[in-house]
Chain A
């Protein structure tokens, strides 16, 4: 079974600064997808960024980028120019590729606090 570990229960960053959230995972599969989801107080799950394991290039979405290290099974999220609206729970998630029949495996989450 796959596992996802987020070792930072809470992180705090000053507005406009950069913060990195850590995620490691364990799998015996070679082809899979990794995600970062944001869950604000409304509790709606919002996809932040996605990475296909077969792609060596790190995914980037505006101020959000990942550092994907496949051999180390590490998938960290960098948020640049942090904004107050970035405050939320952030979950790292994993799913096997192919078929689409598997649910996501989530980490325990990191609570991100943005200091004005």
Chain B
């Protein structure tokens, strides 16, 4: 199957700083990438959808100024958590959908565990 690489896998940052998480599709072009958040022992909640070259679409209740998403190319999307606070600590997962094939299967990255201290 297609490979989606997400980095870093773990990050610890100080409160008030910003953290960038990268999501790359390694062997396919992704027109659409998705960012999810998963709290401990909970399900995945869709945060936003990003399409290459356009602004991300955020789900209701997700602060677009706090969670900046950039999808500058068909293989890379980034999520920046700005002015992070302890309540932003969570597991963030990206997924990517393949271009052209109309494939509705979404391939997932390995996830990033963010801890804000």
What residues of B have a CB within 8 angstroms of the CB of A107 in the complex? 43
B36 (CB) vs chain A CBs: closest residue: A103
Q: Mark B87-107 against chain A: 1 for CB-CB distance below 8 A, else 0.
A: 000010101010000111110
**Interface residue count on the B side (C-beta < 8 Å):** 25
What residues of A have a CB within 8 angstroms of the CB of B67 in the complex? none
> Could you say which of A43, A47, A91 contacts B43, with CB atoms under 8 Å apart?
A91
B49 at interface (Cβ–Cβ under 8 A)? yes
Q: Which of A64-72, A79-87, A93-101 contacts B (4 or more CB under 8 A)?
A: A93-101
Complex Cα–Cα for A97 and B43 (A): 22
What residues of A have a CB within 8 angstroms of the CB of B105 in the complex? 35, 47, 50
What residues of A have a CB within 8 angstroms of the CB of B34 in the complex? 103-104
Q: Mark A20-49 against chain B: 1 for CB-CB distance below 8 A, else 0.
A: 000000000000010100000011110100
What residues of B have a CB within 8 angstroms of the CB of A78 in the complex? none
Report whether B110 and A97 are in contact in the complex, using a CB–CB cutoff of 8 Å.
no
Report whether B110 and A44 are in contact in the complex, using a CB–CB cutoff of 8 Å.
yes
> Could you say which of A97, A103, A105 contacts B49, with CB atoms under 8 Å apart?
A103
How many pairs of residues, A versus B, come closer than 8 Å at their CB atoms? 54
Interface residue range, chain A: 20 to 34
B104 (CB) vs chain A CBs: closest residue: A33
> Could you say which of B36, B43, B104 contacts A100, with CB atoms under 8 Å apart?
B104
> Could you say which of B32, B44, B93, B95 contacts A101, with CB atoms under 8 Å apart?
B32
What residues of A have a CB within 8 angstroms of the CB of B18 in the complex? none
Complex Cα–Cα for A50 and B42 (A): 22
B19 at interface (Cβ–Cβ under 8 A)? no
Complex Cα–Cα for A109 and B43 (A): 6
B46 at interface (Cβ–Cβ under 8 A)? yes
What residues of B have a CB within 8 angstroms of the CB of A45 in the complex? 44, 93, 95, 108
Chain B CB within 10 A, most for which of A33, A97, A103: A103
Report whether B111 and A43 are in contact in the complex, using a CB–CB cutoff of 8 Å.
yes
Q: Mark B16-32 against chain A: 1 for CB-CB distance below 8 A, else 0.
A: 00000000000000011
Taking beta carbons and an 8 Å cutoff, which residues of A are in contact with B?
33, 35, 42-45, 47, 50, 91, 95, 97, 100-109
